[in-house]
Amino acid sequence: MAILRNSTLSKTTGRKRLREALRLALLDLIVKGKLKGGERINESRTSRLLKASRTPLREALLQLEKEGLVRSDVRSGFTVGPLSSREVREVYPILAQLECLAVRTSARFVATVLPQLSRINAHFARARTPERALEQDTLWHTTLTSQSKNARLATLIATLRLAIRRYEHFYMADSKLLPTSVAQHADIIAALQGNNLEAAIKAIEENYVFGMHALLGKMGEE
């Protein structure tokens, strides 16, 4: 019986790992625009591309649907959720306030990661591809809020950062915008180095407001 239980557990763990690997692969395709907003996902073609059977692929797609990146319909199957200016307007201000809360409640400990933030920002400034820029920007923000001990807050932030990931890739594709983001990060670091928490909070808000309006502009809105 123990052998059977161990075998079942091993199979379950293997399925979970496969599903997560497929979720990440699909997420990468969506973020990079290889699966575009509004595009129907051909399961047969995608399963061949990712070298996986359709059952775990469908499980991965259902997880992405829960995360708001994919939609499903009985007749048309799965489609990539379209880029939405409404989503940008809704998510960016919320994420800004959550990040501010994380910094405000962990202000005593943020000083320990300031050298790391400066190094990451330097790497961000030298990024030459949208993928590298997105990687460094995400790492920067994750590090900034890493000293918060509020697990629920961290989960909310991580969930919303996932929701904006493809928007951030769209933003990072415009290299003219990156110097502004780098300078805003530097302002946040400088405020924290000077123990000026309120200036840091204001700079974080400005970073998100700028990103939101830049995205809306790129999406054709005033």
Q: How confident is the model at residue 37 (pLDDT cuts 50, 70, 90)?
A: confident
Same domain, 210 and 112: yes
Output the pTM of the full model.
0.80
- Going from the C-alpha of 48 to that of each of 43, 45, 54, 57, 58, the distances in angstroms are 8, 5, 9, 10, 13
In tens, the pLDDT along 19-31 reads: 888 888 888 888 7
Are the C-beta atoms of 139 and 121 separated by less than 8 Å? no
Domain containing residue 53? 2-80
d(C-alpha 36, C-alpha 52), whole Å: 21
Structure tokens at 169: 């890739």
Q: Report d(CA 140, CA 117) in Å as an integer.
A: 6
Which of 61, 80, 99 finishes a domain? 80
Let me know whether 18 and 45 are in one domain.
Answer: yes
* 156 & 214 share domain: yes
Instruction: Tell whether 15 and 72 lie within a shared domain.
Output: yes
Whether residue 43 sits in one domain with residue 109: no
Q: Average pLDDT of 161-177?
A: 92
% the chain with pLDDT above 90 = 58
Amino acid at 63: Q
**Whether residues 91 and 74 fall in one domain:** no
pLDDT of the residue at 20: 86
pLDDT score recorded for residue 11: 57
CATH number of the domain encompassing residue 11: 1.10.10.10
Question: Does 63 lie in the same domain as 44?
Answer: yes
Statement to judge: residues 75 and 92 lie in one domain: no
CATH code, 96: 1.20.120.530
101-131 tens-digit pLDDT = 999 999 999 999 999 999 999 999 999 999 9
Q: Are both 100 and 25 inside the same structural domain? A: no
Q: Which of 80, 113, 138 is the last residue of a domain?
A: 80
Same domain, 73 and 96: no
Residue type present at position 128 = R
Residue 72 pairs in a beta bridge with 78
Backbone angles phi, psi at 201, to 5 degrees: -60, -45
Q: What is the tens place of the pLDDT at every residue in 39-87?
A: 898 888 888 988 888 888 899 888 888 887 888 888 888 888 888 999 9
pLDDT, residue 75, reads 80
Q: What is the pLDDT of residues 128-141, one digit of tens each?
A: 999 999 999 999 99
Q: Give percent above pLDDT 70 in the chain.
A: 94
Position 2 scores a pLDDT of 52
The three-state secondary structure class of 86 is: helix
Neighbours of 216 (CB within 10 A): 15
Summarize the confidence of residues 89-103 as an average pLDDT. Answer: 97
Q: How many helices (H) and strands (E) does the chain have?
A: 11, 2
What's the confidence (pLDDT) of residue 121? 98
Confidence of residue 4 (pLDDT cuts 50, 70, 90): very low
pLDDT at 221 over 70: yes
Distances (CA, A) of 68 to 23, 30, 104: 13, 12, 29
Question: In total, how many domains does the chain have?
Answer: 2
Q: Could you tell me if 198 and 92 lie in one domain?
A: yes
Q: Among 57, 80, 103, where does a domain finish? A: 80
Contacts for 183 with CB less than 8 Å, ≥ 6 apart:
none
- Judge whether 112 and 193 are in contact, CB under 8 Å: no
Task: State whether 37 and 139 are in the same domain.
Answer: no
